[in-house]
Amino acid sequence: MIRIVAKNLVKADKMDAFLDMAKVLVRETRDKDAGCIRYELVQGIDNPRLLTFLEEWEDQEALDKHMAAPHFTDIVPRFADCLEEPAEVTLYKELL
């Protein structure tokens, strides 16, 4: 199992644009990507412009296929224009 925490600090005037794209990405990923156990977008309580994907994948193969899927390759590069700084993506394995 692979866990991902992908943090996005969104520009104030790009929140709607980011969320419109994120909605499609979340829906398509949940509906279409085999091996996706969990794929959620959460919002910072202290900083509402911090929008973070919390993900769980069965294995690296499932994650690789997700990152090659059209909904990923179409949408994720377009997030960049909405962000204050590059996304911070951290991959984890289970421990306890």
**38-57 residues near its own copies, rule: CB under 8 A:** 40-46, 50-52, 54
CB of 69 vs its own copies, minimal distance in Å: 18
**Residues 69, 34: Cα–Cα separation, whole Å:** 11
Handedness of CA 30, 36, 37, 41 (dihedral sign): negative
Window contacting its own copies (CB under 8 A); options: 16-24, 64-72, 76-84: 16-24
Answer yes or no whether residue 22 interacts with its own copies by CB under 8 A.
yes
How many CB atoms are closer than 10 A to CB 11?
14
Question: Which of 9, 26, 69, 83: binder of its own copies (CB under 8 A)?
Answer: 26
